[in-house]
Amino acid sequence: MSKPTTFVEITMPQFAESLVSATIGKWLKQPGDPVEQYEPLCDVITDKVNAELPSTVEGVLREILVEAGETVDVGTVIAYVEVAGTGANTAPEVSSSTVASEEPVLQGDQSMRHRYSPAVQQLAGEHGVDLNQVIGTGLGGRITRKDVLQFVEQGQSAGKNTASEQAAPSNQGGSFNPVRHSGLHLSESPRIPKIEVEKQQTVGSNEYFIDVTPIRNTIARNMRQSVTEIPHAWTTIEVDVTNLVVLRNKYKDEFMRREGINLTYLAFLLKAVVNAIKDYPIINSVWAVDKIIVKKDINLSLAVGTEDSVLTPVIKKADTLNIAGLAREADRLAKATRAGTLKLDDLQGGTFTINNTGSFGSILSYPIINYPQAAILTFESIVKRPVVINDMIAIRSMANLCLSLDHRILDGVICGRFLQRVKENMESYDLDTKLY
């Protein structure tokens, strides 16, 4: 005699007090898939962070009520999970064909289902996959590379090619040659976006489509709000970081052995900025219409680029950390951002933003302020070039610092002094500087 079953509702949780809704980014499980307790069911996107929604129970995912790309209120039922129970319960009807039928049961909007990207078609051909049998998790039922790979891994492919299974993920995932650059502080090659595109179906068309993801839509909204509400101005200053280059070269190998992470120039910049904000606290403020709110805690937001977005995780109370502590925290947040494991708290409370634009060779930039902060600073590429010192020409390692400012709060005088103080702090590093 089989055990009776119970259907458990999976609801959209409240990730933070200020959040009242969230968007399903992508379903990681499909109807019929077994799930363990705390195993992620789907990616959830909010204005603050991407997060994985774990299952509250162990069982089998039976029905998805909210499709990828849809935004729902907190508390909305988004799926049902079937679990072994102790008694009969009334449950929504779920077709067993979801699991066993050769033809998958499709739910929700399927308008994009048969618009395959070249990458998907190539991958399906290599594995002998009939795309009509694959359930798409993209917007409008679109089939992604991950859907095809998951289909193959489940052993449902009509024909398996072991060699192509091993080669396809690396080829399609983007094996790129090292990027040539002039920056001296690039710790890794810049990540190249992997974008699924859809060709327009009209015969003879030379257009294609790129889906706007929920997180890209959030970035667009926040950037538009920043440039619309904040009167931007910007200024830049040149810094001689020759002594800093020597200092880092002295400690980087020892630091790697001791901490297991790279000692980047960014850590030294963070310390220089923290000390400058202490001298000019108005930089650490926000506009509140009838008042200016100056933040006592110095929480530095770091602009971290992923393959398809930019997030700004926060180093909390950066003024309490030494250079080594700042390096550890920056490394932790950068890795968590790229791995998609940031917590909501990691993105809240930032008071001033720093962007290491020099990591991809930029020498001058005009950054958009991270709303509602008062300013953002970019650290440009370190480049060796001739400069005049005491009427003599010398080869020095030089870098630019670019500051965008909210002209409602800050003016040229205060920002000029702030940048000058950052410059002094950067140029004051020498071989006697302590990391701890």
Helix (H, G, I), strand (E, B) or coil at 80: strand
- What does the pLDDT look like over 109-138, one tens digit per residue? 676 666 666 567 767 877 888 887 888 877
Closest to 194 (Cα-Cα) out of 279, 59, 306, 54: 306
Residue 43: enclosing H or E segment and its boundaries?
strand 40-45
Annotation says 114 is catalytic: no
Q: Pull the structure tokens for residue 229.
A: 């509400």
Residue 125: enclosing H or E segment and its boundaries?
helix 118-127
Mean pLDDT on 360-369: 93
- What does the pLDDT look like over 173-229, one tens digit per residue? 444 444 444 444 444 444 545 555 555 555 556 777 887 777 788 888 889 999 999
| pLDDT band for position 46 (cuts 50, 70, 90) | confident
- What does the pLDDT look like over 292-307, one tens digit per residue? 999 999 999 999 987 7
Q: How much is the pTM? A: 0.64
Distance, in Å, from the CA atom of 375 to the CA atom of 403, rounded to the nearest integer, reads 7
User: Among residues 279, 308, 411, 430, which one is catalytic?
Assistant: 411
Distance, in Å, from the CA atom of 364 to the CA atom of 162, rounded to the nearest integer, reads 48
Show the domains of the chain with their CATH numbers.
1-102 (2.40.50.100), 216-427 (3.30.559.10)
Mean pLDDT on 166-170: 38
| pLDDT band for position 88 (cuts 50, 70, 90) | very low
Q: Pull the structure tokens for residue 417.
A: 């002094």
User: Among residues 47, 181, 240, 407, which one is catalytic?
Assistant: 407
Q: In this structure, are residues 223 and 368 in contact, taking their beta carbons and an 8 Å threshold? A: yes
| pLDDT band for position 69 (cuts 50, 70, 90) | confident
Annotation says 185 is catalytic: no
